[in-house]
Amino acid sequence: MNVSPQPFSPTITGKTHLLGIIGDPIEHVMSPLMHNQVFHKHNLDYIYIPFHVAADNLEKVIQGLRNTNLEGFNVTIPHKVAIIPLLDELDPLAAQIGAVNTVKVEEGRLIGRNTDSEGAIKSLVDNHVELENRRITILGSGGAARAIVFGLVTHSSNITIINRSRPSMDALIHDVRQATKVNLNGEYFGNADNVRTIMQNTDLLINTTPLGMSPQNRESPIPASWLHPKMAVFDIIYRPLMTQLMRDAKSQGCKILGGLEMLVNQGALAFEWWTQHPADYKLMKSIVTEYLTNH
């Protein structure tokens, strides 16, 4: 099926439902392409608009959006944490994570949710990656790592965070312990021998760092020799579709999963929450895959 983005002129009226995304920068985001093509394909009277919002303007913009007919919006870097005090209500999981990527507007009230966590877990489950009581290692301790960890702790308590700096790693470990009583392990990337040993005993490796993202396509957060065939590897990067880590893991006989499905899943969950229509996961994935393949 050819799903190349086609020029179209939606009929926008005063009844058209408005959605969007805020971030800085905003030019790279896939959400407008993904959502608007699906709205067009399924004849839904919605439009999704990207808004460039600098950090200094966040509070003013949110107050402005609250008083418009915008029905919901996504939140991307650097606003996922800073937006929380500006919201009226948080989903319990988003409150635990301490980050929001999706907001729904209901009668002027802003409700925050984190579909990154749900999207990541759905990607793993849909691809038959075993989670229950697995030994899981997560590279990085930023916002994406936080979202994924809080989704994983209901499946496994044997989780190790590996990071280049201690403050954010220690903060994540502390927050998980406080919220869930699960005591995560932590290791510093600089302790290579310890990290290598951890990898030898890892069932599922998840990379949440930007190492390997375009244009640094040949970079990988760990040496290929540290991977082994009994390990599943999930790299949440989606540009490129096949990262160096994934290539190395495939060559070592590992089961591999890239970030494309997480991107689609988190967007589809937001789509369903806002519109009350079932998301066309297959079409969403095809749209983004074709675009990324050709750009």
What are the residue numbers of the active site? 80
The total number of residues shown for the chain amounts to 295
- Is there a cis peptide before residue 92, judged by omega within 30 degrees of 0? no
User: Which burial class, exposed, middle or buried, applies to 43 when counting CB atoms under 10 A from its CB (0-12, 13-18, 19+)?
Assistant: exposed
Residue 224 CA to residue 214 CA, distance in Å, equals 19
Residues 6+ apart with CB under 8 A from 204: 124, 129, 130, 131, 134, 135, 136, 137, 231, 232, 233, 234
- Is-contact 46 16, C-beta < 8 A? yes
Residue 20 CA to residue 8 CA, distance in Å, equals 18
Helix or strand holding residue 192 (H, E): helix 192-200
